[in-house]
Structure 1
Amino acid sequence: MHVYARIDIEWSAAPALIHASLAARQGWLLGAVIADRWLWADQTWQITPNHSSQRLHWQAQSITQPSLKADLLLELLDSVSSTHVRATLHVEWPKTTFKLWRYWQRRRWLHNELTNVLQHWRDAWTTQSTPSDQLAQSHPRTWQAFHTMNALDQLQRIQALDRRWQQFEHGQLPNLPYSQTDQLPKADLAVDLVYAGGGLGLIHATLMARKGLNVLVFDRHQVGCAHREWNISQAELERLVATGFISWEILERQIIMARYHDGIVRFHAAGSAVAPAELHLPEVLDIALDAGALLDYARQQFLAAGGIIWDNTSFEHVYHDPKQQQTVVAVHKADQTQLIAARLLIDAMGATSPLTLATQPFAGICPTVGTVLSGAEHDQNLGDILISIADTQADRQLIWEGFPGREHELTVYVFYYDQVGAKAKYRHSLLDLFEDYFELLPSYKQLQANAQHLRPVFGYIPARHALNKPKPLAGVLALGDASAQQSPLTFCGFGSFVRNLSRTTDLLEQALEQALLAPQQLSLISAYQSNVSMNWVFSRFMTPWGRPQDVNELQNVFAHVLNRLGYDLARRFFQDQMTWHDYNRVVLGTLAFYPRIMQVAWQVLGWRDWLRWIGDWLRFSRAAFIAQFGQQLPSWLVGRLPKPWLFQYNAAYAEWRAMGWLKSSPEHQSQALGSQPSIKQFG
């Protein structure tokens, strides 16, 4: 008689630590050693370990009754802030007459036995030395600051993020938690849309719920929890208000922390052959928002629109039936697996999404850390957009950003650009960067005697260096950092997200209504912009390549060129609205001001990326030509396009609008879309 028991449990430790600790144990986890014999279930057992890198496996055979065998398997799944342990216990009893009542009796006993032993070892783990105790020795400034902020629990999450990225950069890509099947598992709940990740995705989900869809949002932590602060411009907030998500009255009363009159870009110039050049950018990033308050409001509005929220729920797997265009999402909630049927899974799990890392690896990275603090000397009418205060340090060009908040608070970030994997200049670690941040902060801002760090902000900001849109998985649509491009200023993707919010929600509504859910159609529903995809070259020039002063020197060159070309072009450049003519004027202006740029570009890019840049420029030119021609199509012709072609045209039109490339009336799109029937709910 074969009897199985399986449970899932969350373990607050890294998979590697759990593996090392349990694999080193004598015998296995069940029973106990008595007189050098392993006893369990009134039997004496011979235990044979058969472990692999991501799982623990013990095979057991009864010494007194050899036909009695057992297997214990623990699969260790990295859930970023914890480890998801999936345990299976299989016992093969000697052949007897099958009796259903005895089978269920043994299965229930095995389940209880497995549950008790895993809970015992998990509880015992918490009594051991915590990671934060170790960090007090290895990263003393970081530990002390987090202790003062009452945020020691955040350190383990940061360690998990570091592990995930280091595994990725060493080529250890996660197994793709995705399957296509024509026999979907039976779901416990059916909705229209499932959002995995409750950060920026919660705002998107709220608008979709207001369109009459049945929407569920889950997050491994609390839905609507922010670990960054955001700043934005007035024009971008106007787009957010235009979606109907929020009113100006609520923004002014609850969300906007501060307005400031100017933003500055300034790079260190000591030892450089190029004179310093400050770039002033008013109305670019001049409004500081309370991210926590904004997401709290989004949570309230989402629930009011009939949305469903599952806190403390981790993603496990997604199953998709391509024929029926239906999806089932497996999640772990309250120590058990739940299955949710939906038309689409919206991947808003950010840069560490297992669906993204396994299928669309990133090429660039911007590690970012900082704090919200009080007691720092700062002009409350000024925001620091990009500031460097020294040349390259440890193969990194550290760049600072600071903007005022409520009651003389100041949000400060430090970050740097780098490639990933074998091309990386530096071992990426948020913890190491935090240690540098707390050491170097006084050289960026003068701190008063009563200065206090109030809360940490951090994250890995990814980038893909390509002009082509990434192709999504069938049944899955990626949003936010999970589908990141590369932009000089949208480090956390918030500005890009807001500018493209109406675009992505409207296109998603149309795709659902017309069942245009094939991967090539889902790829059109994104914040992708062809002009932003050219910016990977600029980020490469912010990565050290030669002399310590090289990065700062070249950035001062760009600042001189942008000052000469005028404020309007500089604003478009920093707000992802650069035109084809803008890009060429910047390139030619840089060549005229700094003829060595060709030599430097060859040194930084190498011949392969040089050719790639030329190819990207040609594709960018083609995109600009299509935009110029496409928006001139007569509305009567657009309205007669077949539905798939019309959807593609609407997506392109929305992209041109987001980039500020429209010169004709939006009448084309409104006439083409016409009136939309109500969307039928799934289930």
Structure 2
Amino acid sequence: MSLFQLQPFNGISQLAVGNPFQQKKYGRRTFLCRPQAVASRTQRIMESVSVSGEVGGAGGAYSYEALKRLDQLWSNICSAQEVVQEPQQVVSTVPNLFRSSNLANKAQGSYDVLVCGGTLGIFIATALCAKGLRVAIVERNALKGREQEWNISRKELMELVEVGVLEEEDIDRATAAKFNPNRCGFERKGDIWVEDILNLGISPVKLIEIVKKRFISLGGVIFEGCSVAGIDVYEDAAVLKLSEDEILLSRLIIDAMGNFSPVVKQIRCGKKPDGICLVVGTCARGFEKNSNSDVIYSSSSVKKVGNSKAQYFWEAFPAGSGPLDRTTYMFTYVEPQPGSPKLEELLEQYWDLMPEYQGVSLDDLEILRVIYGIFPTYRESSPLPSAFNRVLQFGDASGIQSPVSFGGFGSLTRHLGRLSSGIYEAMNGDYLESQDLSLLNPYMPNLSASWLFQRAMSAKEHTNVPEDFINELLYTNFNCMQRLGDPVLRPFLQDVVQFGPLSKTLGLVMLTNPQILPSIFKQVGVPVLLDWSKHFLMLGYYTFLSTFADPVVRPFLNTLPSKTSFRWRRHLEAWKYGAGLDYKL
């Protein structure tokens, strides 16, 4: 009885073709019974997979219940109005001294720096600990890495060695899989093969455990299972209030709580993201051919999903859990609006499309994990300037992300040295006001210019462009970059946009495939192109400044007053990193 909703049956038209009800007799009466809702294929698959406990960070949960929670969050984002909302006020400014307040003797600990969010925050925390600062991490879950591997190159991981977070041999200890060559593929167009790009599968479980031990050995403290309830910023301190009515005292608080940090929501006033990357995928066992990887593979045409359209892209890598194990991602770029596809809808299409893409039957695979995530991006204020004294955003929370995947680990490795040195200098000089901290998350034209890529790779309604336009555009661009050689292709594949390579690529595209230009205007829109032109010109300007002005200014830094020197160092870094000139082949 509990499986059915019963309604009396009068034997007339309720049994028409397509009627979902079934007849059931109970005593002398006949009832129409509506069977309990049939579980979706995604639900059946996910509930058949054994999952461990959730961990912090994007992609740290694998259960069907967590998928439904994330889909609900995504639906709320899509249905939100464009007007500025009033989010929860997490950070409050208190215009007096903490040492004279009635809380002065109640802090459970006092530190130079408190890092909120440990999954990626452990890296900046360890880098600062290595410089001699007293640092503590506050993490609402257990501080451990997720099971699913991170893909990166050894060159990027060496950045962690240079700032003292890892020893070089730690890279080998944390590496679960290695693979070459790596493909950039375009369905029905062709393939481009590269070496040593995203060719390491790093185990977050091992990597974070290694860094965690180093952090503790350097004197770092970790508060696990603690949620941030609020932050009070005094003139002489920042007070972190935990949900357990405990407080921690520090000179600086670093917000590493990710894309959906409550502090970021407050700063952005609840504004909708301008774009979202939706990601679904699996780690599965049963792949006989499993030696190389796909950095990106684009579908030949736009697909219909629900009430909207989506252009699908793929990534696939051997997994470190076994020789026949492989991770496959399907992702798409969308604008958050009513009718946008849900993650579960994407997964329903994934079960049909992935076997064709990978050349394997779904029945021959053992699903080890189902992976999903949403990654937002904003056109304005990315990176996000500090809005409060003594509070600084880091990682995904800061908006310093990959221009392609919107993820933050690769960006973290490139910027960790710059940020840890800048924070250390700010702490030594007590340059902790918002205008000083904002210099650590400066305007970067290469990141702003990359917004156009996401817009061009998003399927649009009513644009009158061919269904295969995005695939054709990507193939044309990658083919031109390959012709121009490694100095052009490799930086872009490692999420670095530079003025010279970008200019050469655009010029060659216009020369070799000029007929594609009208479709670009239709797909992207003239206002977006005009806005992008400003950032493109600034990219050239920053390249000029870093190349020619930096050598003139740098010798005089040590002759300037300390605060002026601090600010000029940050300007030189902004020119260099904003032009992508920190990247070396």
Structure 1-normalised TM-score? 0.70
In 2: Cα distance, 1:490 partner to 1:505 partner: 24
Question: Relative to structure 1, is the Cα distance of residues 194 and 543 closer, same or farther in structure 2, using a 3 angstrom cutoff?
Answer: same
Runs of 4+ in 1 over 6 A off after TM superposition: none
CA contact (8 A) 1:227 1:456 kept: no
- Choose the corresponding residue for 2:42, options 111, 118, 141: 141
Q: Does 1:443 align with 2:356?
A: yes
Larger Rg, first or second structure (1 or 2):
1
Q: Does 1:291 align with 2:170?
A: no
Question: Relative to structure 1, is the Cα distance of residues 569 and 213 closer, same or farther in structure 2, using a 3 angstrom cutoff?
Answer: same
- Choose the corresponding residue for 1:542, options 430, 440, 457: 457
Q: Specify every segment of 5 or more residues in structure 2 that has no aligned partner in the other structure, as ranges.
A: 1-34, 53-60
In 2: Cα distance, 1:156 partner to 1:145 partner: 9
Q: Which residue of 1 aligns with 2:74?
A: 165
Q: Does 1:511 align with 2:426?
A: yes
Q: Does 1:357 align with 2:268?
A: no
How much does 1:285 deviate? 1.3
CA contact (8 A) 1:277 1:560 kept: no
Question: Relative to structure 1, is the Cα distance of residues 559 and 142 closer, same or farther in structure 2, using a 3 angstrom cutoff?
Answer: farther
Q: In structure 1, the residue corresponding to 2:310 is in which secondary structure?
A: coil
How much does 1:377 deviate? 3.7
- Choose the corresponding residue for 2:242, options 315, 322, 331: 331
Question: Relative to structure 1, is the Cα distance of residues 235 and 435 closer, same or farther in structure 2, using a 3 angstrom cutoff?
Answer: same
Question: Relative to structure 1, is the Cα distance of residues 653 and 263 closer, same or farther in structure 2, using a 3 angstrom cutoff?
Answer: farther
Q: In structure 1, the residue corresponding to 2:559 is in which secondary structure?
A: coil
CA contact (8 A) 2:400 2:411 kept: no
Query: Structure 1, residues 619-657: CA drift from partner, whole Å, max 9, x if none?
Result: 222222221223212654122123233223323444566
CA contact (8 A) 1:173 1:357 kept: no
CA contact (8 A) 2:157 2:171 kept: no
Question: Relative to structure 1, is the Cα distance of residues 141 and 155 closer, same or farther in structure 2, using a 3 angstrom cutoff?
Answer: closer
In 1: Cα distance, 2:227 partner to 2:214 partner: 23
Q: Does 1:521 align with 2:431?
A: no
Q: Does 1:175 align with 2:100?
A: no
Q: Which residue of 2 aligns with 1:65?
A: none
How much does 1:298 deviate? 1.9
In 2: Cα distance, 1:165 partner to 1:482 partner: 17
Q: Which residue of 2 aligns with 1:471?
A: 385
CA contact (8 A) 1:372 1:410 kept: yes
In 1: Cα distance, 2:44 partner to 2:224 partner: 28
Question: Relative to structure 1, is the Cα distance of residues 400 and 198 closer, same or farther in structure 2, using a 3 angstrom cutoff?
Answer: same
CA contact (8 A) 1:462 1:485 kept: no
Question: Relative to structure 1, is the Cα distance of residues 144 and 256 closer, same or farther in structure 2, using a 3 angstrom cutoff?
Answer: same
Q: Which residue of 2 aligns with 1:69?
A: none
CA contact (8 A) 2:135 2:220 kept: yes
1:517-596 matches, within 5 Å, as 517-526=432-441, 529-545=444-460, 546-596=465-515
Count of residues paired in the alignment = 515
1:606-617 matches, within 5 Å, as 606-617=525-536
Partner amino acid, structure 2, of 1:304: S
How much does 1:598 deviate? 3.3
Partner amino acid, structure 1, of 2:340: R
Partner amino acid, structure 2, of 1:497: L
Q: Which residue of 1 aligns with 2:15?
A: none
Question: Relative to structure 1, is the Cα distance of residues 624 and 348 closer, same or farther in structure 2, using a 3 angstrom cutoff?
Answer: same
Q: Does 1:341 align with 2:249?
A: yes
Question: Relative to structure 1, is the Cα distance of residues 290 and 166 closer, same or farther in structure 2, using a 3 angstrom cutoff?
Answer: same
Query: Structure 1, residues 313-332: CA drift from partner, whole Å, max 9, x if none?
Result: 222211112x33x2111222
In 2: Cα distance, 1:404 partner to 1:339 partner: 45
Q: Specify every segment of 5 or more residues in structure 1 that has no aligned partner in the other structure, as ranges.
A: 1-133, 270-275, 665-683
In 2: Cα distance, 1:630 partner to 1:307 partner: 39
Q: Which residue of 1 aligns with 2:64?
A: 155
Question: Relative to structure 1, is the Cα distance of residues 527 and 572 closer, same or farther in structure 2, using a 3 angstrom cutoff?
Answer: farther
Q: In structure 1, the residue corresponding to 2:124 is in which secondary structure?
A: helix
In 1: Cα distance, 2:287 partner to 2:37 partner: 25
Q: Does 1:249 align with 2:162?
A: no
CA contact (8 A) 1:139 1:432 kept: no
Q: Which residue of 1 aligns with 2:402?
A: 487
Q: Which residue of 1 aligns with 2:295?
A: 385
Q: Which residue of 2 aligns with 1:234?
A: 154
Q: In structure 2, the residue corresponding to 1:454 is in which secondary structure?
A: strand
Question: Relative to structure 1, is the Cα distance of residues 457 and 662 closer, same or farther in structure 2, using a 3 angstrom cutoff?
Answer: closer
State, as a whole percentage, how many aligned pairs show the same letter: 26
CA contact (8 A) 2:277 2:405 kept: no
Q: Which residue of 2 aligns with 1:460?
A: 374
Partner amino acid, structure 2, of 1:615: K
CA contact (8 A) 1:486 1:536 kept: no
Question: Relative to structure 1, is the Cα distance of residues 245 and 438 closer, same or farther in structure 2, using a 3 angstrom cutoff?
Answer: same
Question: Relative to structure 1, is the Cα distance of residues 662 and 288 closer, same or farther in structure 2, using a 3 angstrom cutoff?
Answer: closer
CA contact (8 A) 1:497 1:527 kept: no
In 2: Cα distance, 1:345 partner to 1:164 partner: 27
- Choose the corresponding residue for 1:644, options 533, 549, 563: 563
Question: Relative to structure 1, is the Cα distance of residues 298 and 385 closer, same or farther in structure 2, using a 3 angstrom cutoff?
Answer: same
CA contact (8 A) 2:382 2:400 kept: no
In 1: Cα distance, 2:116 partner to 2:36 partner: 31
CA contact (8 A) 2:282 2:369 kept: yes
CA contact (8 A) 1:162 1:428 kept: no
Query: Structure 1, residues 239-284: CA drift from partner, whole Å, max 9, x if none?
Result: 22222222232321x2111222222111223xxxxxx142222122
How much does 1:443 deviate? 1.6
Q: Does 1:396 align with 2:314?
A: no
Question: Could you tell which deviates more after superposition, 258-267 or 140-149?
Answer: 140-149
CA contact (8 A) 1:266 1:388 kept: yes
Q: Which residue of 2 aligns with 1:498?
A: 413
Question: Could you tell which deviates more after superposition, 449-458 or 651-660?
Answer: 651-660
Question: Relative to structure 1, is the Cα distance of residues 636 and 657 closer, same or farther in structure 2, using a 3 angstrom cutoff?
Answer: closer
RMSD across aligned positions (CA): 2.8
Q: Which residue of 1 aligns with 2:4?
A: none
In 1: Cα distance, 2:281 partner to 2:365 partner: 15
Partner amino acid, structure 2, of 1:250: D
Partner amino acid, structure 2, of 1:392: V
In 2: Cα distance, 1:661 partner to 1:652 partner: 14
How much does 1:371 deviate? 2.3
Structure 2-normalised TM-score? 0.81
